[in-house]
């Protein structure tokens, strides 16, 4: 009996895929639109994938991470189906979504906002995944990205950060910690995705209004030869004003950021580059002015 049921479901799936979309499609309160870039709003929140039940009820929504993929709004819904008496022809009410019940089979249909059907399959509703596996790889990617813990910069300076720095002299800054890729993997059902973050360089904002410095890799400490003659790519800043001008305890907020390139790879073959991310640390720097002493 179970084998006959599976055969019937397979036949129904083939028939549904061949059936043209309804020209007058409208799902709940969603109005068809040709603009697939503005985003779909459900319950006041923009989404790219919305699962809706009877009467436009929102069952689940998902928005991809910023800059990480296709943002065309897709609306998916569950529909009841049945067999015409005495035949193997299955009928589906494509225009009337239903609110699904657990462990019950439905037609799961996904469309663009203009009504174009992008996928149709028969599924057994699982409350643990109301998306019925739709965009599972992309959702796993975003879960891995959210779980990724980027190492904050471990700031080292010369002179040391807790010493007095002087107007007219250079302060060198570098990241004094691990400089290696970080990975995180997440799964949605049988599908998984791995996100890899690779550090590329650091930037230093001296905090005194000067332009931000972009450094080579993690930066480097000076040596006896380079201390007073930094080259492009060195994170060395020459102070022009003391931080104690208005407050004897005044400091500049020296901010260091690591920029990470982000890539992902899914278990079913998808992957690519995502927007870069940064991790940041800040340390107060006190800059004083040395007074010249003249001796006769």
Per-residue pLDDT of the chain (296 residues; tens, 9 = 90+): 333 333 344 444 433 443 433 333 334 344 444 454 556 777 777 788 999 899 888 899 988 875 545 567 889 999 987 755 555 566 777 788 999 999 999 999 998 888 888 888 889 999 999 999 998 999 999 999 999 999 999 999 999 999 999 999 999 999 999 999 999 999 998 999 999 999 999 999 999 999 999 999 999 998 877 667 788 889 999 999 999 888 888 999 999 999 999 999 999 988 999 999 999 999 999 999 876 444 55
pLDDT of residue 227: 64
Of 86, 83, 81, 82, the C-alpha closest to 97 is 81
pLDDT of residue 87: 58
* C-alpha span between 21 and 29 (Å, rounded): 18
pLDDT of residue 18: 37
pLDDT of residue 214: 96
Length of the chain: 296
143, 192 contact by CB (below 8 A): no
- The DSSP bridge pattern shows strands 49-52 and 74-79 to be parallel
The residues with which 272 forms a beta bridge, in sequence order, are 264
pLDDT of residue 226: 67
* C-alpha span between 121 and 81 (Å, rounded): 11
For the question of whether the overall pTM of this predicted structure is more than 0.85, the answer is no
Instruction: Give the helix ranges, DSSP H, for 66-161.
Output: 136-147
Phi, psi of 68 (to 5 degrees): -110, 10
pLDDT of residue 207: 96
261, 273 contact by CB (below 8 A): yes
* C-alpha span between 16 and 36 (Å, rounded): 25
* C-alpha span between 71 and 47 (Å, rounded): 8
Residues in Cβ contact with 67 at an 8 Å cutoff, skipping those fewer than 6 apart:
274, 275
């Amino acid at each position: 009996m179970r084998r006959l049921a599976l055969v019937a479901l397979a036949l129904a799936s083939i028939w549904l895929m061949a059936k043209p979309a309804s020209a007058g499609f409208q799902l709940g309160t969603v109005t068809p639109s040709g603009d697939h870039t503005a985003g779909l709003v459900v319950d006041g929140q923009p989404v790219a994938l919305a699962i809706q039940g009877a009467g436009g009820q929102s069952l689940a929504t998902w928005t991809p991470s910023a800059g990480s993929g296709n943002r065309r709004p897709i609306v998916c819904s569950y529909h009841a189906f049945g067999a015409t008496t005495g035949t193997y022809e299955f009928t589906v009410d494509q225009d009337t979504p239903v609110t699904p019940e657990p462990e019950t089979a439905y037609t799961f249909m996904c469309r663009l906002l203009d009504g174009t059907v992008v996928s149709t399959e028969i599924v057994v509703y699982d409350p643990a995944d109301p998306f019925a596996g739709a965009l599972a790889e992309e959702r796993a990617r975003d879960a891995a990205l959210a779980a990724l813990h980027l190492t904050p910069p471990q700031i080292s300076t010369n002179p040391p950060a807790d010493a007095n720095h002087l107007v007219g002299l250079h302060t060198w800054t570098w990241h004094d910690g691990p400089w290696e890729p970080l990975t995180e993997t997440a799964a949605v059902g049988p599908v998984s995705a791995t996100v890899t973050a690779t550090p590329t360089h650091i930037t230093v904002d001296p905090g005194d209004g000067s332009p931000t410095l972009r450094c080579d890799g993690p930066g480097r400490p000076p040596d006896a030869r380079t201390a007073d003659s930094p080259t492009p790519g060195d994170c060395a800043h020459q102070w022009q004003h003391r931080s104690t001008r208005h407050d004897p305890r005044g400091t500049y907020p020296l901010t260091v950021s690591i920029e990470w390139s982000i890539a992902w790879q899914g278990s079913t073959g998808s992957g690519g580059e995502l927007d870069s991310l940064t991790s940041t640390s800040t340390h107060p720097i006190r800059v004083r002015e040395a007074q010249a002493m003249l001796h006769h």
